[in-house]
Amino acid sequence: MEKNCLICGSKYEKSKIVGLFECKSCGFKTANIDISDDDLKKLYSDEYFHGEEYVSYTSDRDCLQKDFLSRLDVIKRFCPRSKDKKIFEIGCAYGFFLELAKKYFDATAGIDIASSGVKYAKTKIGVEAYDGDFLNFNLCEHKDVFCLWDTIEHLRRPELFIKKISDNLNKDGLIAITTGDIGSLNARLRGKKWRQIHPPTHLHYFSKISLLALLSKYGFQVVYVEYPGLYRSLDQIAYISLVLKNKMNRLYDFLKKLGILNGYIYLNTFDYMFVIGKKI
C-alpha cells in the first residue's frame, strides 16, 4: 500500500471501517493491501467471471449491455460527430461494451489484464482487445474518449492511469468512469457491510469529492455526474446473496431449477456514480 494519499499526498490513518485506511486530509479511502501486478492479474482468471464473482459473466451479456447502451447515449451528448472519434476502454473484459461502441465510433479498442476475457472479446465478439497492463501499453495515437466501467476501484495505481489518459487524449477529449460512491448515504449506513467493500479485488474507495479531486489534479473538468440505476439479472442477484454470501447452494439450485431466476430487474441504490470529465 502506498504510504501517502494518491490524491493529495497526505498521510493515511486507520479508517473506522476495518481493513481500510483513510487520508487524514481529504478523506480518500484505500485498502490496506500490498499486492504485486502479477498477483493482481491472477485474481482475474476465468473463474472470477464464472463462479467467484459472477455466476456467469457471459450469460449476463444482454443485461450488461442495457447499462452500456445508456452510458453510450450520455457520452454521445458530450462527443458530437462520434463517427469521427476514437474510443478506448480500460478494463474491457469480454468486449460487450466495445461491441456496442463500434456502431457509433470510428475506431474502438480496449485492454484488460483478464486474459480469458480478452481472448473471448477477440475471437467471439470480434473487437480489438489487448491482453496487458495499460500503463505499459503503447497507444500509438491519441484517443477522443477513454472509458473505465467499474474498473478504477480495481487498479493498484489509479492516479497513474488518469495521468496517462490525460496525456493521451485529443483536445476536448473525455474520460468516462463508473464506480461506487463510499460517501453515499447507503454506503455510510452499511459501513463495513457495504457490498462494494471487498478487497483485494476492490483496492480503492472513491467518494464523489475524491474522484472529482483526482480528475481535477490531472487536468479534467467534470461535466457530468449522475447516480444511475443498474440492470441486474435475477440469477446474479440470487447467486451473490445465496451462494457467495450465505453458502445456501441447495436453495439456489432449487430456485434455478424452478426457472424463476430468469430475467432481470432495474435497481437504484444511489451509491453508484457515473462521471464524465473533459480535458481542459
Residue 31 Cα distances to 1, 9, 46, 154, 203, angstroms: 8, 16, 24, 11, 5
The parent domain of residue 100 ranges over 36-228+270-279
State pLDDT tens for residues 71-98.
999 999 999 889 999 999 999 999 999 9
Position 161 in a domain:
yes
State pLDDT tens for residues 218-239.
999 999 999 999 999 999 999 9
Position 5 in a domain:
no
**Set of cell numbers at residue 169:** 487524449
Position 79 in a domain:
yes
Position 202 in a domain:
yes
Express as a percent the part of the chain with pLDDT over 70: 100
Confidence of residue 106 (pLDDT cuts 50, 70, 90): very high
The predicted model gives 12-34 an average pLDDT of 92
pLDDT, position 149: 98
**Set of cell numbers at residue 161:** 492511469
Position 247 in a domain:
no
The predicted model gives 142-157 an average pLDDT of 97
Position 157 in a domain:
yes
- Three-state DSSP at 145 gives strand
Position 20 in a domain:
no
Count of structural domains within the chain? 1
Selection from 233, 113, 143, 228 nearest residue 178 by Cα: 228
**Set of cell numbers at residue 158:** 489509479
Using the predicted structure, report yes or no on whether residue 3 has a pLDDT greater than 90: no
Supply the CATH number for residue 117's domain.
3.40.50.150
State pLDDT tens for residues 162-176.
999 999 999 999 999
